[in-house]
Amino acid sequence: MLQTYRDLFCEIFEIEEDELDSATPDTLDTWDSLHHMNLIAALEDEFDIEFEPEDVMEIVSFQSGMEVLKKYGVNF
């Protein structure tokens, strides 16, 4: 599941895996509201979950996305 999350994150934000640890809205030009919502939709589809609005806002990095997904039973 971790690889799936990595692949989605990299595809949506158009980055390489080695950029994941530093990926935030402040460090990626591609991280805008549209790409953020594309990530949310892709994660919901892939992992068959529905995020609460506060969890959507909590995803502000690759790592925070993992933490939010764990709350929904996605194990890495």
- Give the domain CATH number at 52: 1.10.1200.10
Reduced to 3 states (helix: H, G, I; strand: E, B; else coil), residue 70 is helix
75 and 1 Cβ atoms separated by less than 8 Å: yes
Distance (Å, whole) CA 55 – CA 19: 23
Q: Give this prediction's pTM.
A: 0.93
Q: How many domains does the chain have?
A: 1
Distance (Å, whole) CA 22 – CA 24: 6
Predicted confidence pLDDT, tens digits, the chain (76 residues): 889 999 999 999 999 999 999 999 999 999 999 999 999 999 999 999 999 999 999 999 999 999 999 999 999 8
Tell me whether residue 31 is in a domain: yes
Enclosing domain of residue 48: 2-71
